[in-house]
Amino acid sequence: MSGMLSELQYLRMHGCGNDYVFLDCFRNRAPEDPAGLSRYVSDRHRAVGSDGLVLMLPSDVPGAVARMRMFNADGSEGSLCGNALRCMAMWLHQSGRAEALFQIVMAERLIGVQIVESDADWRRAVVRIDVGRPAVLSTDPGVRCCVREQTLADVQVPGLVGSPLHVSLGNPHTVFFVQSIPAVPFELLGPRIERHAAFPDRTNVEFVEISGLSAANAATVRVWERGSGETLACGSGACAVAVAAVAAGHLHSRLPISVQMTGGLLRVLMSEDLELQLEGMAEECCRGTVLWPRHTAD
């Protein structure tokens, strides 16, 4: 075997600590093996370190400013990533490629974007994105149609409140309401549930404490992300938690729902027809060059 090195210019951005390596594919050619590159750059000891890789591409869809492709740390491609979308939206706006209202396409879905606040000097912004409606999973009325009770008889979750609820936002989420997140053996249960036989395509896992039906209308969440392990935040996970919490009667849909994740606060807004919006910070933290070792057969 012989090898060669490619030098790739990157940006590293995060939404509430959920961080990705971003490649500007407007000016540079997209990598031929993004899955392999994602596995490489995500290594926090031998490369840049991230929860995955994002390709920022020119749009091939009328009405959209750009296309986004996101790859998890294990190389699997994601179908929705609220935090990465907000980061890319900030970059598009601050680099002059988009105004304050525009659309990004991801996995054939047009996603509306609003730049709520922008500070180009500090390369950070508050961004709101249109996540859309959750998938219909049952014939129940109202928001209950968007959840499915999920029985996992061989999984014991300490302090479980009610049944786990499964929600699909184009990617799968399984939400566990618990009395105490610290009492949950997170590192054991996260990967076990992700790869449980009940989920042939695996699932994202959220453990949730509810603050109660108060003016706060808030939940505290710890996330095990499909394909990446524990992440400090998950945008689609925040939306899934909001849907499940309203369906279970823990929170109100008519008020903004505050979702406190390990890395920061996200807000979810739900309309009467179940359209979801996600709002939160996006920040750029560094730029640089990563050496990408490519191996070829002699």
Catalytic residues: 81, 234
Q: Are 14 and 280 a contacting pair, CB within 8 Å?
A: no
- Position of tokens 């609220």? 82
**Chain-centre distance for alpha carbon 217:** 21
Alpha-helical runs (H) found in the chain: 34-41, 82-94, 186-194, 235-247
Cβ burial 198-225 (10 Å sphere, 16+ → b, else e):
bbeebbbbbbbbbeeeeeebbbbbbbbb
Burial of 238 (0-12, 13-18, 19+ CB in 10 A): buried
User: What's the CA gap between 176 and 161, in Å, rounded?
Assistant: 8
